[in-house]
Amino acid sequence: MANTQIFNLEGKVALITGASYGIGFAIAKGLAAAGATIVFNDIKQEFVDKGLANYAAEGIDAKGYVCDVTNEDAVNELVAKIEKEVGVIDILVNNAGIIKRIPMIEMKAEEFRQVIDVDLNAPFIVSKAVLPSMIKQRSGKIINICSMMSEFGRETVSAYASAKGGLKMLTRNIASEYGQYNIQCNGIGPGYIATPQTAPLREPQADGSKHPFDSFITDTKTPAGRWGNPEDLAGPAVFLASTASDFVNGQILYVDGGIQAYFGKQPS
């Protein structure tokens, strides 16, 4: 019989950034089902309140806080408050992120910096804040939400791809520096997931036909033949948050329906 206890997260405190909805919310639900206590943040109180309502509807007693994860002082205050009110953070999921789909020559440097700030600087800031307690207790799990754009380039996402490529390397560097303290830092690289962020790529055309990019993903590029669901990321997150992955460090687990293994469908 398989030892499912290696996936048990009872007694663990998990902070998932930006987890009021979408991928972060789905991951948090998975961690909660495995027994973890859920803590999340968002940038505005209204988003936190909506998140708390979403968790309550799922029967999850989550704790929500307002915090801008690009603000180092605010993050340090948040982590100190969580440690005081809930407990030391055992699991960190750096999920908060943004994307701006703008051709590179049309993108302002300020817009580029904003994406880098949220998608790369913030995971550095939050990881830096939780690491001292993880080092002290000689255990911890950090999961960075990377992307297929950690590996690939594509039109209009120069800032996003730059940030996610950097996040892949930050993941490996945290593993390299702090693995000696029994801290594992890994990434999850979602494929194309059906979330509000990707909704514009799935909107039907005026004539009712599929969006060209929607067709490209489901009919040509993905062996699974579909978009991923946020819930598809819950199992991988539980694995990377549990003792089952204690000797897995500095890796990116791509949850993409097989896109990276596939050259693409041959034209008929």
- For the stretch 114-133, pLDDT in tens is 999 999 999 999 999 999 99
- The model carries a pTM of 0.96
Nearest to 244 by CA among 252, 231, 235: 235
Position 213 pLDDT exceeds 50: yes
pLDDT for position 103: 98
Structure tokens given for 55: 């968790």
If DSSP codes are grouped into helix, strand and coil, which group holds residue 138? coil
Average pLDDT rounded to a whole number, residues 202-208: 93
Which residues contact residue 87 at a Cβ distance below 8 angstroms, ignoring those fewer than 6 apart?
13, 37
Is the pLDDT reported for residue 11 higher than 80? yes
Q: Does the structure show a pLDDT above 70 at 221? A: yes
pLDDT in tens, 151-181: 999 899 999 999 999 999 999 999 999 999 9
Give the whole-angstrom CA distance, residue 167 versus residue 81. 26
Instruction: Compute CA distances 145 → 72, 95, 240, whole Å.
Output: 19, 5, 12
**pLDDT value, residue 2:** 61
The amino acid that residue 122 corresponds to is A
CA distance 197 to 238: 23
Task: Summarize pLDDT for 48-88 with one digit per residue, the tens.
Answer: 999 999 999 999 999 999 999 999 999 999 999 999 999 99
* Mean pLDDT of the region 28-38: 98
pLDDT in the model for residue 1:
45
- The three-point CA angle 200-202-205 to 5° equals 90
Catalytic residue among 55, 160, 178, 192: 160
pLDDT, the chain, mean: 96
Active site residue 55: no
Burial label for 106, CB within 10 Å (0-12, 13-18, 19+), is exposed
Give residue 3's pLDDT: 74
Q: What is the pLDDT of residue 135?
A: 98
By the 8 A CB rule, do 241 and 14 touch?
yes
For residues 242 and 236, give the distance between their C-alpha atoms in angstroms, rounded to a whole number. Answer: 10
**At residue 18, does pLDDT exceed 70?**
yes
| Token pair for 117 | 């700030």
Query: In this structure, are residues 143 and 188 in contact, taking their beta carbons and an 8 Å threshold?
Result: yes
List CB contacts of 8: < 8 A, sequence separation 6 or more: 34, 35, 242
Phi-psi region of 175 (alpha: psi -120 to 50; beta: other; left: phi over 0): alpha
> Which residue type sits at 191?
G
